[in-house]
């Protein structure tokens, strides 16, 4: 009689021989064959040993570190990532251009505007100035007020109804209302390399591009914005949006249809066409004779050479500036030395802040259509009383109106803030200390958070909240002062208006106004932060607590 094969016995050992035609025969043989029985027993034991050995964990529990789970990027996640990036770019552009850019330049212009001793002349000049050039400053200021109110509304939704989703939805509405929607229609392309990233001459990218590389070469066409960071950046192609660059060396020889904004050691335009504004912060900025900037150029630098054409104004904050090209309008110079060479042509005025007229060199061929004003002399500037200018009162009135409206809405939304009061002795010092800490540490923290890419949106939100807090600080103090003056009157409007009037006067007092303004900011910020801590901690203690 022939024994079962190893294959049959293995199948039997693994209990795999079931219902097959060979099954009955194999089992029948097995019953009468001690040899095969013994062999099967050994194989079954082998099966058991293999199962036990393979099932053993091998000490894996201790040896294997469980990595964090990487959730796959969903379409929704991708959309939100795009949305967040778009929001960051939009917010950065808005803050830079509207708040820091135009506001700073306009405030500077206001500070250096002409002084006429005759009151009526001052009044008419100020009105004309406001109509012609001053609107941007007020628009920027009221834009800030509007943004502050939007933030306040969101804060109120979060605090009162604990509706974080509603607040997020509100953010989206603000973003879309702010014109982000068209931007989002475009996708976002990311390119990163330790060496070179090239957008080839025959390449067209229909997206906004973010690039981080040692060397960035943009030879092709980008229909959206380009944000590039690297050691060397060369742009010889066409960017139909804005070009934002940060590198050691930046050379632009191509065409930018929007704004060019850059920070570097060496920023050069060679035969470049910038249709919008140019903002360049660099040790050395060079705009050659073949380059053209369509609108304003603002350069903050150690030395600048402008041989090309600037369509409107040139603002230069530099050690030395050399102009040998054509400017459509004014030349505003905050520099140690200004050289206007033979081919220089200024379509408007030259305003040079210096206390030494010899530091202005004007070649015989240099043409200035308007006037040359040597202004901003430190001594003259100190001597001139700012209280005698209409701009000063316009500005204070604008601040008062904005602060009053913002304060009323804030106190209406968060009525408990109407009752905020400064303690005595140690409590007051504690409030001031908290305000000081908040004033210093929050922006530092926000900047540190921004070092991580994912933290940039959080950083911008933190900075915006901090700016709002600083703005609200004096308003809160004003409300508190008004209430103290009218002995806890419930007339919020009267309290706030009178309080603000006191604050406006106090912070503009000669010599001590700055210190008072600083102290009021510390007090107000401290009160606000204490209120927020208390509100949040009471929510944690009692989640059902609804804040009023």
- Binding residues (CB under 8 A) for other proteins: these are 5-7, 10-11, 14, 16, 39, 42-43, 45-51, 53-58, 60-61, 64, 66-67, 69-72
* Comparison of 1 and 451: residue with beta carbon closer to other proteins: 1
Smallest distance from the beta carbon of 50 to other proteins, in angstroms?
4
Smallest distance from the beta carbon of 57 to other proteins, in angstroms?
7
Q: Element (H or E) spanning 407, and its range?
A: helix 390-413
Smallest distance from the beta carbon of 193 to other proteins, in angstroms?
23
* Comparison of 1 and 60: residue with beta carbon closer to other proteins: 60
Smallest distance from the beta carbon of 191 to other proteins, in angstroms?
25
Nearest-CA neighbor of 219 among 251, 189, 249? Answer: 251
Total length of the chain: 548
Nearest-CA neighbor of 431 among 496, 503, 521, 535? Answer: 521
Q: Per-residue DSSP letters for 92-159?
A: HHIIIIIIIIIHHHHHHHHHTS---SSHHHHHHHHHHHIIIIIHHHHHHHHHHHHHHHHHHHHHHHHH
Secondary structure of 162-213 in the HEC alphabet? CCHHHHHHHHHHHHHHCCHHHHHCCCEEEEECCCEEEECCCCEECCEEEEEE
The structure tokens 């469980």 sit at 66
* Comparison of 46 and 380: residue with beta carbon closer to other proteins: 46
* Comparison of 42 and 190: residue with beta carbon closer to other proteins: 42
Q: Element (H or E) spanning 306, and its range?
A: strand 297-306
CB contact at 8 A, 445 and 461:
no
Smallest distance from the beta carbon of 13 to other proteins, in angstroms?
9
* Comparison of 5 and 489: residue with beta carbon closer to other proteins: 5
Smallest distance from the beta carbon of 70 to other proteins, in angstroms?
6
Tell me 375's DSSP state. Answer: E
* Comparison of 77 and 415: residue with beta carbon closer to other proteins: 77
Smallest distance from the beta carbon of 37 to other proteins, in angstroms?
14
Q: Element (H or E) spanning 76, and its range?
A: helix 75-93
Smallest distance from the beta carbon of 22 to other proteins, in angstroms?
11
* Comparison of 6 and 371: residue with beta carbon closer to other proteins: 6
* Comparison of 61 and 383: residue with beta carbon closer to other proteins: 61
Dihedral sign for Cα 150, 155, 160, 161, please.
positive
């Amino acid at each position: 009689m022939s024994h079962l094969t190893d294959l049959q016995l293995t199948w039997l050992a693994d209990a795999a021989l079931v219902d097959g035609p060979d099954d009955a025969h194999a089992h029948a043989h097995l019953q009468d064959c001690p040899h095969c029985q013994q062999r099967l027993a050994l194989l079954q034991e082998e099966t058991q040993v293999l199962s036990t050995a393979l099932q053993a964990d091998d000490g894996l529990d201790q040896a294997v570190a469980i990595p964090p789970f990487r959730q796959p990027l969903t379409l929704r996640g991708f959309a939100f990532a795009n949305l967040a990036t778009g929001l960051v770019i939009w917010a950065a552009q808005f803050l830079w251009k509207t708040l820091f850019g135009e506001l700073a330049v306009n405030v500077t212009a206001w500070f250096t505007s002409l002084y006429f001793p005759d009151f009526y002349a001052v009044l008419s000049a100020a009105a004309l100035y406001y109509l012609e050039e001053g609107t941007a400053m007020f628009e920027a200021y009221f834009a800030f007020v509007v943004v502050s109110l939007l933030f306040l509304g969101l804060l109120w939704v979060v605090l009162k109804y604990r509706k974080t989703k509603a607040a997020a939805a509100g953010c989206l509405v603000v973003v879309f209302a702010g014109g982000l929607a068209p931007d989002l229609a475009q996708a976002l392309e990311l390119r990163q390399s330790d060496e070179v990233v090239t957008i080839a001459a025959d390449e067209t990218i229909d997206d906004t591009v973010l690039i981080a590389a040692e060397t960035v070469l943009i030879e092709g066409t980008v229909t959206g914005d380009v944000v590039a960071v690297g050691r060397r950046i060369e742009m010889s192609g066409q960017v139909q949006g804005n070009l934002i660059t940060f590198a050691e060396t930046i050379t632009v020889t191509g065409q930018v249809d929007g704004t060019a904004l850059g920070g570097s050691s060496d920023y050069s335009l060679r035969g470049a066409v910038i249709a919008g504004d140019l903002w360049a912060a660099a040790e050395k900025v060079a705009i050659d004779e073949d380059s053209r900037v369509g609108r304003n150029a603002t350069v903050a630098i150690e030395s600048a050479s402008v041989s090309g054409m600037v369509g409107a104004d040139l603002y230069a904050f530099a050690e030395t500036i050399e102009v040998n090209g054509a400017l459509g309008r004014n030349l505003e110079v905050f520099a140690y030395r200004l050289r206007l060479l033979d081919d220089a042509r200024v379509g408007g005025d030259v305003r040079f802040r210096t206390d030494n007229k010899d530091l202005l060199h004007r070649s015989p061929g240099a043409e200035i259509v308007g006037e040359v004003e040597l202004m901003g002399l430190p001594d003259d500037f100190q001597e001139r009383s700012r209280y005698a200018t209409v701009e000063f009162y316009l500005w204070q009135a604008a601040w008062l109106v904005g602060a009053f409206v913002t304060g009323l809405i804030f106190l209406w939304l968060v009525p408990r803030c109407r009752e905020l009061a400064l303690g005595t002795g140690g409590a007051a010092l504690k409030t001031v200390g908290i305000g000081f800490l908040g004033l210093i540490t929050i922006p530092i923290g926000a900047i540190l958070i921004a070092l991580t890419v994912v933290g940039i949106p959080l950083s911008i939100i933190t900075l915006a909240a901090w700016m709002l807090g600083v703005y609200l600080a004096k308003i809160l103090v004003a409300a508190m002062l008004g209430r103290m003056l009218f002995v806890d009157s419930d007339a919020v409007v009267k309290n706030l208006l009178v309080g603000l009037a006191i604050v406006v006067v106090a912070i503009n007092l000669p010599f001590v106004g700055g210190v008072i303004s600083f102290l009021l900011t510390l007090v107000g910020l401290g009160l606000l932060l204490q209120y927020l801590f208390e509100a949040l901690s009471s929510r944690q203690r009692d989640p059902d607590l609804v804040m009023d």
